[in-house]
């Protein structure tokens, strides 16, 4: 009997060792993925300096949600706490702006690569890649208008479930997302709808580059917008409330915080574009 217990004990110890090593291996593998470096994008972009630049940049920042993750004063904040998946911290952009060149900031914003070559995670650069040079240099003017404030934020933390997702290829860094989505694009429906197509860029972050939806976020294909009347669509974008009155979670929040800054013309053009896209089935 004693011998059986001893063997069972040894077996258990062996199992614990295997699990421990597998866990360490998985941790190391996820760490390698998380810390992966890329060549920094050497962009020549410079911050706009004309009198209207800061105000134009403010609009770009509000519509694209920079403050949601980087804080009201851009001094950084914890914006998401969902352990054991991840805890997200937006870095202090006032410190980043003081230390980095315009080109380095552009590399982070539109290419997802930090000044030290690290790939950025959770920062939605794949959605910002399409910002025009003008929009980006206005945005830089706006970021640089904030006084340096506060401490450095910790880097976002990934919990065990998040690490598993990383290894299984469920989560991707910003440069990976840019590559994966390279051939997905929302359709060009000609000059009549060009303005609306441009505005729809702000929806790609969650509804996907081709607006066909993103399962991970439970964001649907935007052909659902065709079922809205123009008035209901405008109300959704201004207030986050759909005709059914249902709370749309993330969508309701971004509508109130971000899309309420779109002009009436922009909302109307976006609606026409989404209608036409749904009608044509593209
Ligand atoms: C969903 C949250 C989120 C949004 C929205 C967001 N960011 Fe970020 N951003 C992050 C996170 C997280 C990091 C750090 C990523 C990392 O270190 O892996 C980051 C990093 C950065 C960096 C690099 C900072 C450094 O210390 O080197 C810049 C610059 C930046 N963001 C600018 C912006 C701008 C401008 C916008 C709006 C157009 C924006 N971000 C919107 C989450 C966000
Ligand atoms: C930060 C993420 C995010 C962004 C950005 C975003 N959405 Fe959404 N949206 C969602 C999510 C998530 C849902 C699903 C909400 C639900 O069903 O609870 C959704 C749902 C919707 C719906 C369907 C609502 C319904 O009646 O069920 C419409 C229409 C919509 N979004 C339009 C837009 C448009 C237009 C834009 C760009 C201007 C946009 N969204 C940008 C996350 C986002």
Distance CA 223, CA 231 (A): 17
The predicted pLDDT at position 1 comes to 60
Q: Which residues contact 74 (CB under 8 A, 6 or more apart)?
A: 66, 67, 92, 93, 94, 143, 146
From 69, 75, 92, give the residue whose CB has the most ligand 1 atoms within 8 Å, as the site to mutate: 69
pLDDT bin (cut points 50, 70, 90) of residue 247 is: very high
Cβ proximity of 125 and 119 under 8 Å: no
For residue range 16-37, list pLDDT tens digits in order: 777 777 777 777 877 777 777 7
Q: What's the rounded mean pLDDT across residues 256-272?
A: 96
Q: What's the rounded mean pLDDT across residues 185-210?
A: 94
The predicted pLDDT at position 19 comes to 75
Pocket lining for ligand 2, CB < 6 angstroms: 202-203, 205-207, 217-220, 222, 224-225, 236, 242, 248-251, 254, 259, 270
Distance CA 222, CA 228 (A): 11
Work out the percent of the chain whose per-residue pLDDT is above 90: 74
- Output the CA 199–ligand 2 centroid distance in Å: 14
Ligand nearest to the CA of 262: 2
For residue range 134-188, list pLDDT tens digits in order: 999 999 999 999 999 999 999 999 999 999 988 898 888 999 988 887 788 899 9
The residue whose CA is least distant from atom 9 of ligand 2 is: 251
Distance CA 261, CA 245 (A): 21
The predicted pLDDT at position 43 comes to 81
pLDDT bin (cut points 50, 70, 90) of residue 80 is: very high
- Output the CA 123–ligand 1 centroid distance in Å: 5
Q: What's the rounded mean pLDDT across residues 111-131?
A: 93
- Output the CA 54–ligand 2 centroid distance in Å: 28
- Output the CA 15–ligand 2 centroid distance in Å: 46
Which of 26-35, 39-48, 59-68, 162-171: highest mean pLDDT?
Answer: 59-68
From 79, 248, 255, give the residue whose CB has the most ligand 2 atoms within 8 Å, as the site to mutate: 248
245: left (phi over 0), alpha (psi -120 to 50) or beta: left
Of 92-96, 154-158, 178-182, 224-228, the one with minimum mean pLDDT is 178-182
**Exposure b/e, 62-80, CB count within 10 A at least 16 = b:** bbbbbbbbbbeebbbbebe
Distance CA 125, CA 43 (A): 15
Q: What's the rounded mean pLDDT across residues 27-50?
A: 81
Which of 108, 93, 129 lies closest to 209 in space, CA to CA?
A: 129
The residue whose CA is least distant from atom 24 of ligand 2 is: 242
Ligand nearest to the CA of 80: 1
Which of 281, 86, 260, 83 lies closest to 173 in space, CA to CA?
A: 86
Residue 94: pLDDT over 90: yes
- Output the CA 14–ligand 1 centroid distance in Å: 44
Chain centroid to CA 254: 12
The residue whose CA is least distant from atom 8 of ligand 1 is: 123
The predicted pLDDT at position 26 comes to 74
Residue 266: pLDDT over 70: yes
Q: What's the rounded mean pLDDT across residues 180-204?
A: 92
The predicted pLDDT at position 225 comes to 96
- Output the CA 203–ligand 2 centroid distance in Å: 8
Which atom number of ligand 1 is nearest to the Cα of residue 121?
Answer: 18
The residue whose CA is least distant from atom 12 of ligand 2 is: 219
């Amino acid at each position: 009997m004693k011998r059986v217990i001893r063997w069972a004990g040894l077996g258990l110890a062996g199992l614990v060792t295997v699990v421990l090593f597998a866990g360490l291996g998985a941790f190391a593998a996820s760490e390698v993925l998380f810390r992966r470096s890329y060549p920094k994008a050497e962009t020549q972009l410079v911050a706009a300096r004309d009198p209207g630049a800061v105000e134009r940049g403010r609009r770009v920042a509000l519509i694209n949600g920079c403050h949601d993750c980087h804080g009201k004063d851009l001094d950084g904040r914890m914006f998401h706490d969902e352990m054991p998946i991840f805890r997200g911290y937006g870095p202090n952009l006032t410190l980043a702006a003081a230390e980095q060149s315009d080109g380095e900031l552009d590399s982070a914003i539109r290419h997802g690569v930090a000044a030290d070559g690290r790939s950025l995670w959770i920062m939605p650069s794949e959605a910002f890649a399409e910002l025009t040079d003008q929009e980006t240099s206005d945005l830089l003017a706006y970021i640089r208008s904030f006084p340096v404030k506060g401490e450095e934020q910790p880097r976002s933390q990934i919990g065990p479930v998040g690490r598993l997702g990383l290894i299984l290829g469920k989560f991707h860094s910003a440069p990976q997302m840019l590559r994966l989505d390279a051939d997905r694009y929302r359709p060009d429906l000609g000059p009549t709808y060009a303005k609306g197509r441009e505005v729809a860029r702000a929806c790609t972050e969650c509804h996907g580059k081709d607006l066909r939806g993103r399962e991970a976020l439970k964001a649907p294909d935007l052909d659902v917008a065709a079922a809205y009347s123009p008035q209901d669509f405008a109300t959704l974008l201004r207030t986050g409330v759909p005709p059914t009155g249902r709370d749309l979670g993330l969508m309701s929040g971004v509508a109130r915080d971000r899309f309420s800054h779109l002009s009436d013309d922009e909302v109307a053009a976006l609606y026409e574009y989404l209608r036409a896209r749904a009608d044509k089935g593209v």
